[in-house]
């Protein structure tokens, strides 16, 4: 089934006409109502009226997370505050998160995008959806919720955690669709098996998973354990949340809701647009957002775009699974972490050398962060008891900074590898290629 055949199966020529109309409108809206955009456009020497073709989008300035932080919290809003009915923020827990504001119309678009996506992997009003994404500032919980309600599914807003309860509910309520992040899904499966859950008795028909990178092996493992096909959900707070792109029954790439979100691929070094099929950084423009229009947002996510009619009948352009990022952002248990945040926490402590390494691993399917830090020789000669105290103190500083518990190991001076070029601060052993 297709939720909105008119939009999802549109002829390419018609879609381009619609996209151009909407692009011109959104550029004008941003220019006239967001002083920050007016400045960006003026600096680039471009006016919204200069957009005559879709290709002219390349003349518009980019937007980055830093731009959004500069105008924190509401400086990107293009409507009066009374029209904003909901806000969410990016998953980083401290520092300046990026804020996303929605009008009633934006919430409708979000619900529509997510409804289309959930239908791609089989959701109907008969389904019972167990949504393990957090309900709160994170967009995962509410995004899935709105889409499922639009279809008329029964949604179980259980949110994250309470893993044993999740399993009980799955069984008792007869959940037919599970929504989780891949790492939480694997953890859930492990606990379910420990609890002796009999998968054959379960009603599960499909799984929607996303919000972090995964490998083909991870998908295979999830499908094997849950005995149901798993479909990719992609999105980001700045653009809307989940619902930017989702996978259909072919499991061959994600359809971007390109009547609402216009995609481009750029070379992250030269910032030039790349032809279709080439790997590069995904850039997204919101074509219909009212509360917070975003022009050419650099997602830092690496993928490729592919056009052509899909076996499912949709003509919406497809993007491949994300296999990397152009920056050093890590997603740990769903939370965005930048090495600079760890560094900031370390700098609060006396007696530490500015040499550290961040190691991400995934034992038992849950992300762990270990931080190796060089202690000064003075510190290192102290007693073990004191070193343990220092380790705990650093762990607390880091917890305050990123909102996650990490394991800190103090190492002797001059034992971490030195590099001549860019320091290799992060070792991600989870491997997503
Ligand atoms: O993670 C939105 C979301 C919620 C997507 C629930 C899917 C399901 P943020 O917290 O702002 O928003 O993080 C956005 O997460 O730029 C990617 O780097 C990464 N990401 C999101 N979905 C995927 C995915 C939500 N399917 C950032 N595969 C993005 C790989 C993903 N990475």
Is there a domain that residue 413 lies in?
A: yes
CATH, residue 408 = 3.30.300.30
**How far is residue 243's CA from residue 222's CA, in Å, rounded to a whole number?**
21
Helix (H) or strand (E) holding 215: none
342 occurs within a structural domain: yes
Q: Which of 100, 118, 207, 236 to mutate to test the pocket of ligand 1 (most atoms within 8 A of CB)?
A: 236
Task: Please list the ranges in the chain whose pLDDT falls under 50.
Answer: none
pLDDT at 86: 98
Query: Alpha-carbon distance 207 to 132, whole Å?
Result: 11
- Whether the upstream peptide bond of residue 154 has omega within 30° of 0, thus cis, is no
Closest atom of ligand 1 to 322 CA is 30
Any domain includes 337: yes
- Pick from 69, 113, 139, 235 the residue to mutate for probing ligand 1's pocket: most ligand atoms within 8 Å of its CB: 235
Would you say the pTM of this structure is higher than 0.85? Answer: yes
Best residue for ligand 1 mutational test, from 129, 211, 283, 322 (most atoms within 8 Å of Cβ): 211
In angstroms, the Cα distances linking 237 to 68, 140, 241, 252, 371 are 12, 9, 4, 24, 28
Which residues surround ligand 1 with Cβ inside 6 Å?
Answer: 90-91, 133, 139-140, 210-213, 232-237, 241-242, 299, 301, 322, 325, 331
Quote the ligand 1 centre to 301 CA distance (angstroms): 9
Could you give the CA distance from residue 236 to residue 259 in angstroms, rounded to a whole number?
Answer: 17
Q: Is residue 401 part of a domain?
A: yes
Q: Is residue 96 part of a domain?
A: no
How remote is the CA of residue 72 from the centroid of ligand 1, in Å?
A: 21
Q: Tell me if 397 is assigned to some domain.
A: yes
Angstrom distance (rounded) from CA 302 to CA 268: 9
What pLDDT, on the 0 to 100 scale, is given for residue 200? 82
pLDDT of residue 420: 58
Instruction: Look at the chain and report how many structural domains it folds into.
Output: 1
What per-residue confidence (pLDDT) applies to 433?
Answer: 57
Domain that holds residue 411: 330-432
Instruction: Write down the pLDDT at residue 309.
Output: 85
Q: How far is CA 180 from the centre of its chain?
A: 13
pLDDT at 419: 62
Does residue 87 lie within any of the structural domains? no
Among protein residues, the one with the nearest Cα to ligand 1's atom 27 is 236
Nearest in space to 174 (alpha carbons), one of 148, 140, 201:
201
How far does the centroid of ligand 1 lie from the alpha carbon of residue 212, in Å?
A: 5
Interval between CA 211 and ligand 1 midpoint (Å): 3
Cα of 243 to ligand 1 centre, how many Å?
A: 10
Q: For residue 164, what pLDDT is reported?
A: 95
pLDDT in tens, 142-197: 999 999 999 999 999 999 989 999 999 999 999 999 999 988 898 899 899 999 99
pLDDT in tens, 96-151: 789 999 999 999 999 999 999 999 999 999 999 999 999 999 999 999 999 999 99
Residue at 371 is within a domain: yes
What is the reported pLDDT for 376?
82
């Amino acid at each position: 089934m297709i939720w909105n055949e008119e939009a999802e199966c549109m002829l390419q020529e018609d879609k381009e006409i619609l996209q151009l109309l909407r692009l011109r409108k959104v550029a004008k809206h941003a220019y006239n109502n967001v002083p920050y955009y007016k400045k960006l456009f003026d600096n680039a020497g471009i006016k919204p009226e200069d957009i005559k073709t879709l290709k002219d989008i390349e003349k518009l300035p980019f937007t980055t997370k830093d731009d959004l932080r500069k105008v924190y919290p509401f400086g990107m809003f293009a409507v009066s505050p009374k029209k904003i009915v909901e806000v969410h923020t990016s998953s980083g827990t401290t520092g300046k998160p990026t804020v996303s504001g929605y009008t009633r119309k934006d919430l409708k678009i979000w619900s529509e995008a997510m409804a289309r996506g959930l239908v791609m992997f089989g959701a109907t009003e008969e389904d019972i959806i167990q949504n393990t994404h957090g309900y709160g500032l994170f967009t995962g919980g509410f995004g899935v919720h709105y889409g499922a309600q639009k279809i008329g599914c029964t949604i179980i807003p259980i949110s994250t955690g309470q893993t044993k309860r999740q399993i009980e509910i799955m069984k008792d309520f007869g959940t037919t669709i599970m929504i989780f992040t891949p790492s939480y899904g694997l953890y859930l499966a492990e606990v379910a098996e420990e609890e002796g859950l009999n998968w054959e008795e379960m009603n599960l028909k499909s799984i929607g998973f996303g919000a972090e990178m995964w490998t083909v092996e991870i998908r295979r493992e999830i499908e094997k354990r849950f005995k149901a096909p798993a479909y990719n959900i992609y999105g980001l707070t700045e653009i809307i949340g989940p619902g930017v792109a989702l996978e259909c029954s072919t499991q061959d790439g994600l359809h971007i809701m390109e009547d609402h979100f216009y995609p481009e691929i750029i070379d992250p070094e030269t910032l030039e647009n790349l032809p279709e099929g080439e790997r590069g950084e995904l850039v997204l423009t919101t074509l219909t957002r009212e509360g917070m229009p975003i022009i050419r947002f650099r997602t830092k996510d690496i993928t490729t775009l592919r056009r052509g009619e899909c076996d499912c009948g949709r003509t919406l352009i497809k993007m491949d699974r994300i296999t990397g990022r152009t920056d050093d952002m890590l997603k740990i248990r769903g939370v965005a972490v930048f090495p600079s945040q760890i560094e900031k926490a370390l700098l609060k402590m006396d007696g530490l050398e500015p040499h550290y390494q961040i190691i991400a691993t995934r034992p038992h399917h849950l992300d762990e962060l270990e931080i190796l830090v060089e202690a000064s020789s003075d510190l290192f000669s102290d007693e073990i008891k004191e070193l343990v105290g220092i380790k705990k103190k650093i762990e607390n500083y880091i917890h305050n900074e990123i909102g996650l518990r990490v394991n800190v190991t103090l190492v002797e001076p001059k034992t971490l590898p030195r590099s001549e070029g860019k320091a290799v601060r992060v070792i991600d052993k989870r491997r997503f290629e």
